[in-house]
Structure 1
Amino acid sequence: MTRRHRYPVRVRWISTAVIGILVIALVAASAVSVVAVPRQVSVLPAASVDSIDDADVPDAVLASRTLFDSAPVAVVVAQSADSSTTADAADLAIDNRVPMFRIAPDTAEAVSTELRRLGVARAVRVGDDVGDLGVAVTDDPSALAGEAAAGKGTGAIVLVSAAGPDAIATAKASGAATVAMPAPDPRVSGEAIRLLKERPDAPVRVFGAGFGDRAQVMRRIELARTVPELPGGGQVMFPGRRVIALYGSPGAPELGPVGRQSIPASIARVKKLAARYDRLSPVPVVPGFEIIVSVASAAPGPSGDYSSVLDVDAVRPWVDAARKAGVYVTLDLQPGRMDFLTQAKMFRDLLRQPHVGLALDPEWRLKPNQVHLTQIGSVAPAEVNRTSSWLADLVAKHRLPQKAFVLHQFDADMLGDRSKIDTRRDELAFVIHADGHGIPSVKMFTWNRIVEGLPSRTWLGWKNFFTEDKPMFSPKRTMRVAPTPWFISYQ
Structure 2
Amino acid sequence: MFPRYRLVGFCGLPGAAALGRLGTGDPAKRASEAEKVAHSYAAGREPLPVLELLAAVANATAGPDGAYRSRTPSATIRRFHHLARTQRGLLLLNIQPGRASVLDEVKALREWLVHPDVGIALDPEWEMSSGQVPGDTYGHTDGRELTKVARYLSGLVEEHDLPQKPLVFHQVAPSVVGDESALRPQPGVALIKSADGIGSPGLKRGTWRRLVSDLPDGVHTGFKLFYEEDAEGSRLMTPKEVLALRPQPEYVMYE
Q: What TM-score does the superposition give when structure 1 sets the normalisation length?
A: 0.50
Are residues 282 and 274 of structure 1, via their aligned partners in 2, closer, same or farther at CA, if it must alter by over 3 Å? same
Distance 1:353 1:251 in 2: 26
Match of 1:394 in 2: 156
SS at match of 2:53: strand
Number of residue-to-residue matches in the alignment = 252
SS at match of 2:41: helix
Match of 1:242 in 2: 6
CA contact 1:339–1:383 (8 Å) conserved in 2? no
Match of 1:260 among 5, 24, 32: 24
Structure 1 segment 300-315 matched on structure 2, within 5 A: 300-315=62-77
Q: Gapped runs of 5+ residues in structure 1?
A: 1-236
Distance 1:325 1:465 in 2: 22
CA contact 2:32–2:87 (8 Å) conserved in 1? no
Match of 1:455 in 2: 216
Match of 1:276 in 2: 40
Q: Amino acid of the residue matched to residue 349 of structure 1? A: E
SS at match of 1:413: helix
Q: Does 1:484 align with 2:248?
A: yes
Q: Amino acid of the residue matched to residue 92 of structure 2? A: T
SS at match of 1:388: helix
Q: Amino acid of the residue matched to residue 294 of structure 1? A: A
Report how far residue 477 of structure 1 moved.
1.2
Distance 2:86 2:228 in 1: 30
Structure 1 segment 136-175 matched on structure 2, within 5 A: none
Distance 1:324 1:410 in 2: 31
Q: RMSD of the TM alignment (CA)?
A: 1.2
Distance 2:111 2:191 in 1: 21
CA contact 1:312–1:347 (8 Å) conserved in 2? no
Distance 2:41 2:206 in 1: 24
| Identity rate, percent | 34
Distance 2:146 2:167 in 1: 10
Q: For the pair shown, which has the larger CA radius of gyration, 1 or 2? A: 1
Q: Gapped runs of 5+ residues in structure 2?
A: none
SS at match of 1:277: coil
CA contact 2:221–2:249 (8 Å) conserved in 1? yes
Match of 2:97 among 331, 335, 351: 335
Q: Does 1:464 align with 2:246?
A: no
Report how far residue 324 of structure 1 moved.
3.0
Q: Which runs of at least 4 in structure 1 moved beyond 3 Å after TM superposition?
A: none
Match of 1:366 among 122, 128, 133: 128
Distance 1:314 1:274 in 2: 23
Q: What TM-score does the superposition give when structure 2 sets the normalisation length?
A: 0.95
Deviations 1:181-231 (A, max 9, x none): xxxxxxxxxxxxxxxxxxxxxxxxxxxxxxxxxxxxxxxxxxxxxxxxxxx
Deviations 1:258-300 (A, max 9, x none): 111223212211122123223xx11111111111111111111
Match of 2:56 in 1: 294
Which segment is superposed worse, 356-365 or 297-306?
297-306
Q: Amino acid of the residue matched to residue 445 of structure 1? A: G
Q: Amino acid of the residue matched to residue 207 of structure 2? A: T
Distance 1:283 1:442 in 2: 27
Q: Amino acid of the residue matched to residue 444 of structure 1? A: R
SS at match of 2:205: helix
Structure 1 segment 66-465 matched on structure 2, within 5 A: 237-278=1-42, 281-423=43-185, 425-465=186-226
